[in-house]
Amino acid sequence: MGYFLQQLINGMALGMIYGLIAIGYTMVYGIIGMINFAHGEIFMIGAFISFIAFIALGLIGIGWMPLALLIVLVATMLLTSVYGWALERVAYRPLRHSPRLAALITAIGMSIFLQNYVQLLQGARVKPMQPVVTGGVRFFELGEFAVAFSYLQMLIILITVGLMLGFTLIINRTALGRAQRACQQDLGMAALVGIDVDRTIALTFVLGACLASVAGLMFLLNYGVIDFYIGFVAGIKAFTAAVLGGIGSVPGAMLGGLLIGLIEAFWSAYFSVEYKDVATFAILILVLIFRPTGLLGKPDVEKV
C-alpha cells in the first residue's frame, strides 16, 4: 500500500512534466493540424537554458532558492519561447500552403539540427547537476515503508497546476485565446473575420515553448542529469500523451500526460523498468484501436 502510494506520487510528478509538453503538441495540432516534431527539442533546450541559468545565478551569488527558481523560471520561459517562435518562422510559416508532409520533414530537420546544435555548443556528455530543492514530508509510515512527498514533487505539481490554471484563463478569457479557438475551427474563416492568423499561430508556438521550457526545468530538477538527447524520448512520450487524451484537446493532453506518467511509474515498479516504454506505446495502440479519437477527443466528422 505504501509502495503503491509512493509510486502514485512519483507517477503524478512525472505525468505533470509530460502533460506540460503534451499541451504544446496538442495546441499546434489543433490549429494547423501538424505534428510539431521539434517540440521535444524545445523542451531539451529549456532544460539546458535552465541549467545554465542556475549555474550563472550561483556564480553571481544569488543563493536564496525561491528567488533563484523564479529568475530561472522567467529566464528559461523567455529565452526558450524565442526558440519556439523561430521554429515556427523557419520551419512552418514558409510551408503553410504546402503539402503537410513537407512541414513534417522540415520539423524533423529542425529537430536534427537543434539536437546537434546543442551537442556542438554544450558538448555531448551527460551534464549532472547538484540537487537544488531537497527535503520533503514523510507523511505516511506503513510498517517499514515511509511514503515521502518531496518538496520538489510538491513544487512540480504546484507549478503545473498554476500554469494550467493560467493557461486555461488565456484560452477562455483573452482575445488571443478566442483567436486560437477560432483558428482551430477554421483557419480560412478566422482570417476572413479579421484574425491575424500568422500571429496567432506564432503565439501558439511561443506559448507551447513556454510550457515546454517549464517542463524542461522540472525535468532538470527532478532527474538532475540532462543531455542533448532527452528531447526525443520525452517528445514522443508527450505526443503519445496528447494522442491518448485526444489530440486538439488541452485538458486531454494533461490527462494523457498524467496517465502516461502513472503507467510508467507503475509498470517500472511492478513489472520491469526496461519495458516501460513498450508498455506506454502498447497502451497507446490499444486506446487508439478502441477509441480512435483518444479519451477526450471529439470524433472528426468525415466530409465528402
Partner 1 sequence: MRASTVPQLPFDWPRALKDAGMVAGVVVLLAIALLGFRIQDTSGGPPLAYRFDDVVAVALIAFLGRLGIAALRAQRAVPVLVGALVFAIALTAALVLGADEQQLFFRSTGLNGTIALAAWILSARAAWLVWHAASETSAELREARMDRLSAQVQRWSGWVGPLLLGLAVALPFLPWIDRRLLDIATLVATYIMLGWGLNIVVGLAGLLDLGYVAFYAVGAYSYALLALHFDLGFWLCLPFAGIMAAFAGILLGFPVLRLRGDYLAIVTLGFGEIVRIILLNWYKFTNGPDGLSGIPRPTFFGLPMVRDAPEGGHSFHSFFGLEYAPIDRVIFLYYLAIALALVTNLFTLRIRKLPIGRAWEALREDETACRSLGVHPRNTKLTAFAIGAMFGGFGGSFFATRQGFISPESFTFLESAIILAIVVLGGMGSQIGVVLAAILLIGLPEVFRDLNQYRMLAFGVAMVVIMTWRPRGLLAHREPTVRLGHGPPEERHEGPHA
Distance CA 159, CA 218 (A): 9
- Binding partner 1 (rule: CB under 8 A), the pick from 125, 135, 144, 194 is 125
Asked if 143 touches partner 1 (CB under 8 A), the answer is no
204 or 240, CB closer to partner 1? 240
Cβ atoms of 144 and 1 closer than 8 Å: no
Cβ atoms of 259 and 8 closer than 8 Å: no
Half-sphere exposure of 64 (CA within 13 A, CB side): 3
Asked if 111 touches partner 1 (CB under 8 A), the answer is yes
Q: What are phi and psi of 139, to 5 degrees?
A: -115, 10
Distance CA 247, CA 256 (A): 10
Distance CA 65, CA 75 (A): 15
Q: Provide the minimum distance between the beta carbon of 258 and partner 1 in the complex, in angstroms, as a whole number.
A: 19
CB atoms within 10 A of CB 106: 20
Count of residues binding partner 1 (CB under 8 A)?
Answer: 70
Asked if 236 touches partner 1 (CB under 8 A), the answer is yes
- Binding partner 1 (rule: CB under 8 A), the pick from 9, 22, 27, 35 is 35
Considering only the stretches 97-105, 142-150, 154-162, 181-189, report the one whose residues sit in contact with partner 1 under the rule CB under 8 A: 97-105
Q: Provide the minimum distance between the beta carbon of 255 and partner 1 in the complex, in angstroms, as a whole number.
A: 17
- Binding partner 1 (rule: CB under 8 A), the pick from 5, 62, 68, 102 is 102
121 or 193, CB closer to partner 1? 121
Cβ atoms of 150 and 136 closer than 8 Å: yes
3-state secondary structure string, 267-300? HHHHCCCCCHHHHHHHHHHHHHHHCCCCCCCCCC
- Binding partner 1 (rule: CB under 8 A), the pick from 61, 66, 121, 143 is 121
5 or 283, CB closer to partner 1? 283
Distance CA 39, CA 291 (A): 25
Residues forming the site for partner 1 (CB under 8 A): 29, 33-35, 45, 48-49, 51-53, 55-56, 58-59, 75, 78-79, 82-83, 85-86, 90-91, 94-95, 98-102, 104-106, 108-118, 120-123, 125, 127, 232, 236, 239-240, 243, 247, 274-275, 277-278, 280-282, 284-285, 288-289, 292, 302, 304
